[in-house]
Amino acid sequence: MDELVSLCKRRGFIFQSGEIYGGLQGMYDYGPLGVELKNNLKNAWWSSMVYENDNIEGLDASILSNPTVLKYSGHEDTFSDPMVDCKTCKSRFREDQLPENCNKGKCDFTEARQFNLMFKTNVGPIDDGSSFAYLRPETAQQIFINFKNVIDSSSKTLPFGIAQIGKAFRNEITPRNFIFRVREFEQMELEFFVKPGTDEDWHERWVKKRLDWWEKQGVPKENIELYDVPEDELAHYSKGTIDIMYKFPHGLEELEGIANRTDFDLGSHTKNQDELNISAKVMPNNNSNTRLAIQDIESKKWVVPYVIEPSAGVDRGILAIMNEAYNVEDLGEGKERIVLKLKPHLSPVKAAVIPLKKNNDDLVNKASDLKKSLQSLNIGRVVLENTGNIGKGYRRHDEIGTPLCITIDFESLEDNTATVRDRDTMKQERISIDALPEYLIKRIHK
Ligand code: GAP
């Protein structure tokens, strides 16, 4: 993990937030390459959900949440972790993560108390605590409360889904393991609404689909274990959850959870609960003004759909993908190289164009024209690497996972060809510059 964290800082993927003032625990900033990698991962998820499925629509809802939403969702009452204080060192721990000794000697713990993980903030000009909102602890609730807006505007029938990517906030008692457990993170969540009775079949299907998707992002199935969450560990809304557990550098932990949320959420937020035959145990709701149900085409009866929810963490995804991609290769004669073998569609930079000499106008102009033409393909970032040191250029681009380096030399001026070096094999070949767009597109989608 230490080597990965150091690469992330050195090359501009991820920085500790607020570092110049001592940092803020549990918060990280994504740098120039990190933001590209993160956007590429989110785009891959969005494509696989919204663009590849005509029965899935997207949403981008607000982060600040009306407290009533989180009252009926159950978060106000149940979204807490047991917390313990050490009387010796005055530190605070999660009950399931207690150390034996602290920095002041043997720990002396208090009884556990429940600690709600939601952040609150004041809304409006008067700060007397009477008007507050929560920062959403998951993106899911905004999907449920927009259920009617989405079906009315997009004429959906069951089964169908609503997908959302966005920030979530949890006041974790002990944030740790780099970007694995943080207080501000991003989620990619799908709420897939199905007919009651078909839920278990859909649950299984989504587990398979999600495993295949992670494999395409470079997280192989052999480094994943499925954890069928036992009943006494299930979240209050879940009838069954399968966690996709990945072998992170610090141990086997959750990358994504796929839950069968039954009709709990729509049933909790709907009006007219008594008329809707809701199977989950929900809090009586006298505040909602909207029926969150769908009319069955054949029977004409109102049905509260069941929900299958694949919920993945973007930051945990980045950590898993970088961990898989990170390689130190022995080049012989005491030399080695660090290479980030990212799937090309995720690479922050798709190609680097390198003029052989940085002060030669002809070479630099030709390289610059090629950069522009490859950039216009709209496949992600292409850079002009004008440092005049090809070896250093290769090393840098190996470390940041650039699939191709393209060198413009004097021969290029004569015959319009360039040397293309592949990141993974380090093989070099001479290719016509006119053929490069197609070559690059193929390499990115390989
Ligand atoms: N809507 C369901 C839900 O939020 P969750 O298991 O609490 O379920 C889903 O969270 C995913 O969000 C997790 O699998 C994980 O990838 C990510 N996640 C949760 N808490 C996190 C944290 N403190 N830091 C980073 N990622 C987190």
pLDDT at 89: 81
Q: Which of 186, 187, 217, 229 to mutate to test the pocket of ligand 1 (most atoms within 8 A of CB)?
A: 187
pLDDT higher than threshold 80 for residue 221: yes
Judged against a pLDDT cut of 90, whether residue 262 lies above it is answered with yes
Residue with the nearest Cα to atom 24 of ligand 1?
181
Which of the listed residues 97, 138, 169, 174 should we mutate to test ligand 1's pocket, taking the one with most ligand atoms within 8 A of CB?
138
Q: What is the pTM of this model?
A: 0.93
> Can you give 96-156 as a three-state secondary structure string?
HHCCCEECCEECCECCCEEEECCEEEECCCCCCCCCEEEECCCCHHHHHHCHHHHHHHHCC
Name the residue with the closest Cα to ligand 1, atom 2. Answer: 311
Residue 129 has pLDDT above 80, yes or no: no
Q: What is the pLDDT of residues 363-419, one digit of tens each?
A: 999 999 999 999 999 999 999 999 878 999 999 999 999 999 999 999 999 999 999
| Ligand 1 probe mutation, 311, 318, 319, most atoms within 8 A of CB | 311
Cα(187) to ligand 1 centroid in Å equals 7
Is it the case that residue 174 has pLDDT exceeding 90? no
Residue nearest atom 6 in ligand 1 by C-alpha distance = 257
Ligand 1: which atom is nearest the Cα of residue 189? Answer: 1
The residue with greater pLDDT, 145 or 127, is: 145
Task: Determine the pLDDT at residue 223.
Answer: 97
189 alpha carbon, distance to own chain's centre: 9
Q: What is the pLDDT of residue 99?
A: 79
- The response to whether residue 185 sits with its C-beta less than 6 Å from ligand 1 reads yes
3-state secondary structure labels for all residues of the chain: CHHHHHHHHHHCCEEECCHHHCCCCCCEEECHHHHHHHHHHHHHHHHHHHHCCCCEEEECCCCEECHHHHHHCCHHHHCEEEEEEECCCCCEEEHHHCCCEECCEECCECCCEEEECCEEEECCCCCCCCCEEEECCCCHHHHHHCHHHHHHHHCCCCCEEEEEEEEEECCCCCCECCCCECCEEEEEEEEEEECCCCHHHHHHHHHHHHHHHHHHCCCCHHHEEEEECCHHHCCCCCCEEEEEEEEECCEEEEEEEEEEEECHHHHHHCCCHHHCCCCCCCCCCCCCCCCCCEECCCCCCEECCEEEEEEEEHHHHHHHHHHHHEEEEEEECCEEEEEECCCHHHCCEEEEEEECCCCCHHHHHHHHHHHHHHHCCCCCEEEECCCCCHHHHHHHHHHHCCCEEEEECHHHHHHCEEEEEECCCCCEEEEEHHHHHHHHHHHHCC
Q: How far apart are CA 409 and CA 414, in angstroms?
A: 9
243 lines ligand 1 (CB under 6 A): no
> 181 CB less than 6 Å from ligand 1?
yes
Average pLDDT over residues 413-430: 96
Q: 314-358 pLDDT, tens per residue?
A: 999 999 999 999 999 999 999 999 999 999 999 999 999 999 999
Contact between 241 and 234 (Cβ < 8 Å)? yes
Residue of 136, 185, 188, 256 with the most ligand 1 atoms within 8 Å of its CB, for mutation: 185
Using one digit for the tens of pLDDT, what is the confidence trace for 274-315? 999 999 999 999 999 999 999 988 888 999 999 999 999 999
The verdict on the CB of residue 312 being under 6 Å from ligand 1 is yes
Q: Which atom of ligand 1 is nearest to the CA of 314?
A: 16
Average confidence (pLDDT) over 109-122: 88
Ligand 1: atom nearest CA of 180 is 25
pLDDT at 127: 80
